[in-house]
Amino acid sequence: MALSGNLAVPLAVLVLLLWGPPWTHGRRSNVRVITDENWRELLEGDWMIEFYAPWCPACQNLQPEWESFAEWGEDLEVNVAKVDVTEQPGLSGRFIITALPTIYHCKDGEFRRYQGPRTKKDFINFISDKEWKNIEPVSSWFGPGSVLMSSMSALFQLSMWIRTCHNYFIEDLGLPVWGSYTVFALATLLSGLLLGLCMIFVADCLCPSKRRRPQPYPSKKLSESLQPLKKVEEEQEADEEDISEEAAESKEGTNKDFPQNAIRQRSLGPSLATDKS
């Protein structure tokens, strides 16, 4: 009995060490999780956001410091959040994450990239001393809410969807790699063909061809511009009529003079005969 009592104490201590203190179980993390659905919450208030990946060793080393810093969030009036880029590829494209871990500070919609030391004390000083004011914010053109970054987010989501489909074709359906590539090539050709037809249809509706366009009636400006030409033509016709009338009168004059000359010649004829005799 004494031996069993002596063994019970070390076993109890070992169980406590392995299981951990009872007050640590069910402890809720103060770090908020940001997804594609709730990322617009970052546009209001003061935030510190960490972009990480579970497989990244540097991210794993940062997690204890980040969790400890999150405990001071309420005192510092700052929201501490994190984003798993493997689960949220759209946010990875929206914020242009090229290295892990990446930390951003956001104040009422203005985003600044944190590049200082990554310890709890440095994070606290960064917020309490307002060191973020010394960092130039991200341009509105490259802000996560801009049209450009929204398009980038859509491209990242599309690439992740294509990768998921590729894995499904190879692992679940058993297609070879070249078969999966063939499927995506055909899908690309068909989508390009449909897009081209839609663009042609829209262009034809906005700018119809000249054959289908009805001929417009002459405008007032066109009729006014043609009036001087009409006047010139009328004047030319009037001149031609005057010339023709003058020619006709001249012909009539010659015709009237001709019989008078003939009568004179006839009258002069007998007188000339008498003189010769």
Distance CA 61, CA 97 (A): 19
Q: In what helix (H) or strand (E) does residue 107 lie, and over which residues does it extend?
A: strand 102-107
Q: Tell whether 50 and 108 lie within a shared domain.
A: yes
**pLDDT tens per residue across span 115-154:** 999 999 999 999 999 898 999 988 878 778 778 877 877 7
Q: Tell whether 42 and 141 lie within a shared domain.
A: yes
Tokens of 235: 């004047």
Residue 207 annotated among the catalytic residues of the structure: no
Pairing of strands 79-84, 32-33: parallel
Where residue 173 falls among pLDDT bands split at 50, 70, 90?
confident
105: Cα within 13 Å, side-chain hemisphere: 20
Residue 165 annotated among the catalytic residues of the structure: no
Distance CA 47, CA 81 (A): 7
Where residue 276 falls among pLDDT bands split at 50, 70, 90?
very low
Q: In what helix (H) or strand (E) does residue 106 lie, and over which residues does it extend?
A: strand 102-107
34-39, long-range: CB < 8 A, 24+ apart: 34/81, 34/82, 34/83, 34/88, 34/91, 35/83, 35/87, 35/88, 35/91, 36/88, 36/90, 36/91, 36/153, 36/157, 39/91, 39/94, 39/144
Burial class (CB in 10 A: 0-12, 13-18, 19+), 129: exposed
Does residue 94 have a pLDDT over 50?
A: yes
Pairing of strands 46-52, 102-107: antiparallel
The residue segments making up the domain with residue 133 are 32-147
Q: Tell whether 38 and 83 lie within a shared domain.
A: yes
Tokens of 188: 């690309």
Distance CA 103, CA 140 (A): 18
Q: Tell whether 68 and 117 lie within a shared domain.
A: yes
Q: Radius of gyration of the chain from Cα atoms?
A: 50
Domain boundary among 147, 181, 214: 147
Tokens of 211: 């054959």
Task: Read off the CATH number of the domain in which 69 is found.
Answer: 3.40.30.10
87 lies in a domain? yes
245 lies in a domain? no
How many C-beta atoms surround the C-beta of residue 241 within 10 A?
10
Domain boundary among 99, 123, 147: 147
pLDDT of residue 223: 57
pLDDT of residue 34: 93
Tokens of 177: 């790699």
* Count of domains forming the chain: 2
For residues 131 and 74, the answer to whether their CB atoms sit within 8 Å is: no
pLDDT of residue 212: 56
> 33: which strand partners?
82
56, 106, 198, 207: which is the annotated catalytic residue?
Answer: 56
More confident residue, 103 or 14: 103
**pLDDT tens per residue across span 199-249:** 888 888 888 766 655 555 555 555 555 566 666 677 777 767 767 666 666
232 lies in a domain? no
Q: Tell whether 169 and 121 lie within a shared domain.
A: no
59, 198, 205, 207: which is the annotated catalytic residue?
Answer: 59
Q: Among 26-30, 66-70, 185-189, 272-276, which stretch is predicted with the lowest mean pLDDT? A: 272-276
Q: Tell whether 83 and 44 lie within a shared domain.
A: yes
pLDDT of residue 123: 94
